[in-house]
Structure formats: C-alpha cells, structure tokens
Chain A
C-alpha cells in the first residue's frame, strides 16, 4: 500500500493556490440508525476537473452524492460551495446553485414526452414553448440529438440518458454529478459521452464521475477519490495508478485473480440451439430471429450486447420459461428440449441463473432452504413421496455457504435479507452444486462487489473445467474477456457469429453491439434487420 500514498492535496501542491474549491465537503457524515453510510468525508472538487468517485457497492458513493444534491440531509459535517457553507433544502435548491445530477437509474417519466421530462427537471420560470426551443438548441450544441415530442417509453437506453444529460445541461450547471453513466452504453456510445464530458470540462465546469469501470476512469478523470465502508480511503491521480492498484484500494486487499485451468478439453456438444425464432410475449418485447449456436462441454460461451436486445427472451427460451413449438430448436445433452418444461430441462442436467436475483432467481420472502428446494426439487432428491426432506434442503444451504463463502446472519435466513453479492453467490452456488451438464447464467456479477464477482467467475471457470457447458450473458465486456472462450453479440434479437475471445477486441464487439456487421459487404443487411 505504501506505493499508493501519493496523496494529491491540491492546496499543498500549489495547483490551485489562492482559490477555494468549487465544492468541498467537510466531515460529511450520514447515519442511518447505527449504520454509518458516510463517515466524516472530506472531498474537494475544482473547476476544470473530472473527479472520479470510486468504491464497491455499499461504500457510500450514492449517499455522498445524494447529500451533495440535497436529496438527503447530512447527519453531521458541512458542504461548502465557493468556500461558503450551504445547507440544501432539496434538489431544486442544489440546481438553482448550479449543481446538476444525472442518475444511474434514470429519473424519467415513461408516459411523458421528452420536452415534458425536461420541463420537470427545470424550475419552470420560462414558458413551455421557450423551454422546448432551448432544448433543441442545447441538444444541437452538444451533439445530443433528441426529438422533444416523443414519449420516453419509445426511446432506447442511450437516448434516455441523453435526455438526462440535456436536462442537466439546460440549467447551465457549474458542477455535474454523473452516477455510472456508461453502465448501459455501448463502447461507441460511451466514447461520444466522453467527448461531451471533455467539452464540459473545457468550459470550466466540474464533473463528479461515479463508475466501476476503472480503465474508463484512468482515461477520463483527473482526480479520483476512493471510498470504502463509508470512509474516504484516499484521493489520488488515477493516471498514475493501475486498474489493479485502484481496485486494491477499493477492496482493501488483494482480489483473488481468476484463473482458468490450463489445457481445458472441450468434449461433446451439450447445448445446441438450431435456428430458434420466437415472437415476443409482451408489447415491447424483442423477436428472436434465427439464433443458432453449439456449446460443447468444457467451454464457456459469452453473449455480449446492450440490455434489451433479446437477452431476456433468449434466456426464457433456453430455460423453458417460454416454450417453442419446434422441439429441435433447443437440444440439451442430445435430447430435443424446445417443448419441454423447466423441470424436464433440469432433469436433463441443465441449470439456470436468471439476471434478477430477487423475484426471479429467488422468492425474496422465502428462506434459503426453501429457495434451494424451488430449483432443486426435480433432480436433487429433496422430495420423497411428495414430502420435503428438510434436512436435505438445509444441507444444500450449508454446502453453498461453505463452498462459496456466503455471508449471512443466521443459518437459514430469508433470501431478501442477504446483500446482493452474497445472494448471488448463493444462487450460483445452489445451481453449481447440482453438478449441471449445462449452465445458463445471465449477468452473473451484475451489481456484485469485486470480491464476490471473483468468486463467482472462478466458480464458472471451474465448472467448465469439470466438463460442463456454460453460457454467460453479460454486459460487462471485461468479464466476458476474462472467462469466455468465445463471445457472440446480440443485437435486435439476432446473435452474431461467435468470435474467439482473443480476436474479440472492444472495437469489434462495440460495432456488433451497435448493429454493424464486421464484414463491410453485409453491413447494409445487418443495419436493416
């Protein structure tokens, strides 16, 4: 750790001598009951600066920015704006002082138009007509095109984020907070966003940038403050750090490196999908179109793509939540299974981990043992003559706890009481302990902290080494690069040819994620699809 004590105190460095920072928190503390979400945090933000805020889930990043934006009141400490102490009564006061925020979970209204959404984020002193005109002008100036008359539900995720950013920019903020803005963007969309951010910085504004993507932070940010367990660990220059050293500061120790066993052998095809096409079952669902791939034992296939391009529909078709009329479209262990129920597919040796942990992966208000039973009843000997073998279900919980280091308050708590990472370890563990021949897992480490993510990725690699076929859907390209042997991309319900991971550069994947084809000849067809 000694090497990282390059404390970057702007005042002692003489970088900004004689001025006061744009925004400064002094001993900012937020207490929820006994829990200290923010423990005496000091942070300084200067004009012309993109300042990263790093930390694992639960480190206190959201709490800190909510306090700065006036959404919550600090329990102790103060916020200084241009050197003067301010008490923010609410977000509208923060906005009127020049503090803007773009939320991670968009604060948009699906059934209102773009212009109405923007109007709601402003103080309403100008007429709707003037506001609409200014909206078009701002979106043109910054290269963020928007049609003010469309309703939000019709827009893509990238367009929705544009609304948020334009809404914040229309208040001409001196200081803009961005909470994980690139989590939902393709690499190309993210690049466009960075151009906008660089421009805002050049205009003399300050940006506080929350992200989990450390490479991105190193590229974009001038300063980084790392939080852990509600405390500030340090402020440093991310360009002088490595992604690994930043991660170490966030986690407070070494992250176990995920290692694939050498010489993994691929065996027989265990999961085969033949020309699977499926109509969506809801109004705005995605059509699956002619999806085909073959997955052998000992192999991990990654599926990349921006959310909402058919990944959920594909998962449903593979798991048996949606059935196909043609049994041959999904073949598990050599048996046509397209028409089989979830339970029958499990009996063939398949296991499924959906993206949503609470409500899909587990029943939140049921105990872990009961949740183990819900997926294990068919094939794991937990039910005898219609009666539940409670001892067997509890044993599954204990084994998952032990093998995957699930941290919980008691032996068999409700699923909802576990933290995201621990619950995810339990769900993945529950399925892996069944020794599946085929594992289909969606977003295995979504919203999971770095330590738990490493455990889960290692478990997936070990499962493949043991001979299972593993299909991983993820929006995290780094994750796929780390564990997958081949990567395919979903776009508008179609799946690209898988690329060997060593050939799958970010640029190639980004093009595919944006709907372009890698072969120029076919580009026209792919975009038209």
Chain B
C-alpha cells in the first residue's frame, strides 16, 4: 500500500510542471499562436525561480520570479512573432536556444546551493488517512494551484465572452479583425499567459521537485508540454488526463529501471511523443469535420490599417 501511495505522489509531482506549462501553451495556441519556446521559458523560469527563493528564502517570491522571467521571455517572442510578424516556428526555436544559454548564465552563481523545498499541506486527521490522505490533503501549493488553473482556463475558454473572443482569434484572425477585435493585443496577452505558466512550471522544479538548480534541469519537459497540447487536441479536459498519463510514464520509467524490467529507458522516454503521434492519427481518422487544431494556428497576421 505504501508503495502505491508513493507512486501516486511521485506521479502527481512529476505531472504538475507538465500540466502548468501545457495549460499556458494551450491558451497561447487557442489564440492562434504557436510558441515553440516553452522549454526555453521553463528553464529560465527555473533559474530565476531558484535565484529568487535562494536570495530571499521565500518559495513564494521564487515562484513570482519564475512567472516574471517566463513572461519577459514570452514578451520577446510576442515582439518578434506578433509585432514584427516573423515566422513563429523559427522564433520559438530561437527562444528555446536563448533560454537554455541564458539560464546557464543566470544560474551559474548558485549551482550546488540548496534551499528548503515548498512545504506540503498538513491537516491533522485528514492528511493521515491511509492511502488517500497524503494524495488529497498533503500536497504542495503548486499542485493545488495547477488544478485550479486548468479549471479556471476551461471556464474562461468556454463560459466567458473573453474566452470566446480568444478562440475566435485562433479560428480566423481575418474575421476577428473585420469584426473589430484587436487580434494582436489578444494574442500578446495569450502569449504572456503562456510565458507566465511556463515560467512557473520551470520554477516548480527547483522549488518543489528537487531543491537545487542544475543547468538543463527541465530535461525536455517543455517539449513534452508542447506534445501534450496536441495530444489533448486543444481541450482542457483531455489535457489533465494527458498530463497525468505522461507524468506516470516518466515515473514508470524510473521504477521499471529499479525493478530491472528489460525495457530500454530510452524507449520509455520516447513514449509521450509516440503516444502523441498515435493520438494524432486516431484524431484525424475519427474526424467528422471542422478542424481539431485552431485553424489559424501558427499563421502570421498583419492588420491593414
């Protein structure tokens, strides 16, 4: 029983950065912008988040540093891809390369330092319930926040007018512009939200997952988050399922190695991407019509004024 609980706990912890980063990217892509720089924004968020917490001793300040760092990175993307209408794929890739280098520079001063990781909830009585107690009532704040975040995003996209306008921009920016919506403003806000989420997801790693910073510690999680958005076919509900599934695969891979199961670890690492490819094939086969992806995704928009 204790092993099951431990596995669930570690799956939740491994899934949370994926969920937060992918939630941000989902909003960005729903507005019609493809930002491939998630990995870069995450790693800079990790470095700045750790730096903030190490300097002030506050996990909260660390998380804020991560959010601000991710947002600044995404603003750079917005300036290039939206303001100057540069190719979004190229800009996103450049952002990742920049982020990897920048995080090494920022983090150089505190590699090897340790902080006290984020505290876990503890409600006497509830947290002690066997099996479910620690899973439901003994997590860190990031995990609860990530759940609230995806519910909030779902509500925003499908229950508010602003969300409808955002989806409209992602479906057809020419129509949205013709109706008088400020497409580039809306997209800039969506990109900033994506950056903030990626920064927070990155900061989660040194603040809660492992209480120290090492360069490259995001280890491809940004790319998995990108795959996750496609896997979820741009739906918040499926995104939650996908995030925990992908998180579980990562943990399974560690345990499989421990138990000496003869599956190469590289194969396990490749599983999320393989799953995404399979889901894409299934989706396009089962498609009844319309488009699954936001129709304007990744296309450049220049309003005629």
SS of B interface (majority):
loop
A-B contact pairs, 9 of them (CB 8 A): A107-B175, A108-B172, A108-B175, A109-B167, A109-B176, A119-B164, A120-B181, A154-B290, A284-B289
A111→B180 contact, CB < 8 A: no
Q: Mark B290-305, 1 if CB is under 8 A from A, else 0.
A: 1100110000000011
Contact of A73 among B171, B294, B305 (CB under 8 A): B305
- Residue of B with least CB distance to A91: B180
Q: Which residues of A contact B287 (CB under 8 A)?
A: 283
Q: Whole-angstrom distance between the alpha carbons of A103 and B176 in the complex? A: 12
B171→A90 contact, CB < 8 A: no
A107→B164 contact, CB < 8 A: no
Q: Whole-angstrom distance between the alpha carbons of A112 and B181 in the complex? A: 16
Least distance between A471 CB and chain B CB atoms (Å): 31
Q: Which residues of B contact A120 (CB under 8 A)?
A: 164-165, 168, 176, 179, 181
A121→B179 contact, CB < 8 A: yes
Taking the complex as formed, is A446 at the interface, i.e. its CB lies under 8 A from any CB of chain B? no
Q: Whole-angstrom distance between the alpha carbons of A153 and B291 in the complex? A: 9
Taking the complex as formed, is A71 at the interface, i.e. its CB lies under 8 A from any CB of chain B? yes
Q: Which residues of A contact B305 (CB under 8 A)?
A: 72-73
Contact of B171 among A91, A92, A109, A124 (CB under 8 A): A109
A107→B291 contact, CB < 8 A: no
Least distance between B147 CB and chain A CB atoms (Å): 26
Contacts A110-B171, A120-B168, A124-B161 given; indicate if A72 touches B178 (C-beta within 8 A).
Answer: no
Q: Whole-angstrom distance between the alpha carbons of A8 and B172 in the complex? A: 41
Residue among A109, A151, A153 with most chain B CB within 10 A: A109
Q: Mark A67-100, 1 if CB is under 8 A from B, else 0.
A: 0001111000000000000000011100100000
A91→B178 contact, CB < 8 A: yes
Q: Which residues of chain B from 158 to 201 have any CB-CB distance to chain A below 8 Å in the complex?
A: 161, 164-165, 167-168, 171-172, 174-176, 178-181
Least distance between A75 CB and chain B CB atoms (Å): 11
Least distance between A514 CB and chain B CB atoms (Å): 23
Q: Mark A225-265, 1 if CB is under 8 A from B, else 0.
A: 00000000000000000000000000000000000000000
- Residue of A with least CB distance to B291: A111
Q: Whole-angstrom distance between the alpha carbons of A105 and B304 in the complex? A: 16
Interface residue total, chain B, C-beta cutoff 8 A: 22
- A interface residues, Cβ below 8 angstroms from B: 70-73, 90-92, 95, 103, 105-112, 116, 119-121, 124, 151, 153-154, 283-284
- Residue of B with least CB distance to A73: B305
Q: Which residues of A contact B161 (CB under 8 A)?
A: 119, 124
Q: Which residues of B contact A90 (CB under 8 A)?
A: 180
Contact of B180 among A73, A92, A105 (CB under 8 A): A92
B172→A283 contact, CB < 8 A: no
Q: Whole-angstrom distance between the alpha carbons of A119 and B168 in the complex? A: 11
Least distance between B174 CB and chain A CB atoms (Å): 7
Least distance between B119 CB and chain A CB atoms (Å): 42
B289→A109 contact, CB < 8 A: no
Q: Whole-angstrom distance between the alpha carbons of A109 and B165 in the complex? A: 11
Contact of A91 among B164, B174, B179 (CB under 8 A): B179
Least distance between A108 CB and chain B CB atoms (Å): 6
A110→B304 contact, CB < 8 A: no
B168→A112 contact, CB < 8 A: yes
Contact of A107 among B179, B289, B290 (CB under 8 A): B179
Residue among A71, A107, A111 with most chain B CB within 10 A: A111
Q: Which residues of A contact B290 (CB under 8 A)?
A: 110-111, 151, 153-154
Least distance between B184 CB and chain A CB atoms (Å): 14
Q: Whole-angstrom distance between the alpha carbons of A112 and B178 in the complex? A: 16
B291→A72 contact, CB < 8 A: no
Q: Which residues of chain B from 267 to 292 have any CB-CB distance to chain A below 8 Å in the complex?
A: 287, 289-291
Contact of B168 among A91, A92, A109, A284 (CB under 8 A): A109
Q: Whole-angstrom distance between the alpha carbons of A368 and B267 in the complex? A: 51
A107→B171 contact, CB < 8 A: no
Q: Whole-angstrom distance between the alpha carbons of A91 and B304 in the complex? A: 14
Least distance between A230 CB and chain B CB atoms (Å): 16
Q: Which residues of B contact A119 (CB under 8 A)?
A: 161, 164
Q: Which residues of A contact B295 (CB under 8 A)?
A: 110-111
B289→A153 contact, CB < 8 A: yes
Q: Which residues of B contact A91 (CB under 8 A)?
A: 178-180
Q: Which residues of A contact B172 (CB under 8 A)?
A: 107-110
Q: Whole-angstrom distance between the alpha carbons of A105 and B176 in the complex? A: 13
Q: Whole-angstrom distance between the alpha carbons of A111 and B180 in the complex? A: 19
B291→A110 contact, CB < 8 A: yes
Q: Whole-angstrom distance between the alpha carbons of A111 and B295 in the complex? A: 8
A103→B178 contact, CB < 8 A: yes
Q: Whole-angstrom distance between the alpha carbons of A73 and B176 in the complex? A: 18
A107→B174 contact, CB < 8 A: yes
Q: Whole-angstrom distance between the alpha carbons of A124 and B164 in the complex? A: 11
Least distance between B67 CB and chain A CB atoms (Å): 30
B174→A112 contact, CB < 8 A: no
Q: Which residues of B contact A124 (CB under 8 A)?
A: 161
B304→A72 contact, CB < 8 A: yes
Q: Which residues of A contact B171 (CB under 8 A)?
A: 109-112
B180→A109 contact, CB < 8 A: no
Q: Which residues of B contact A107 (CB under 8 A)?
A: 172, 174-176, 178-179
Q: Whole-angstrom distance between the alpha carbons of A70 and B179 in the complex? A: 10
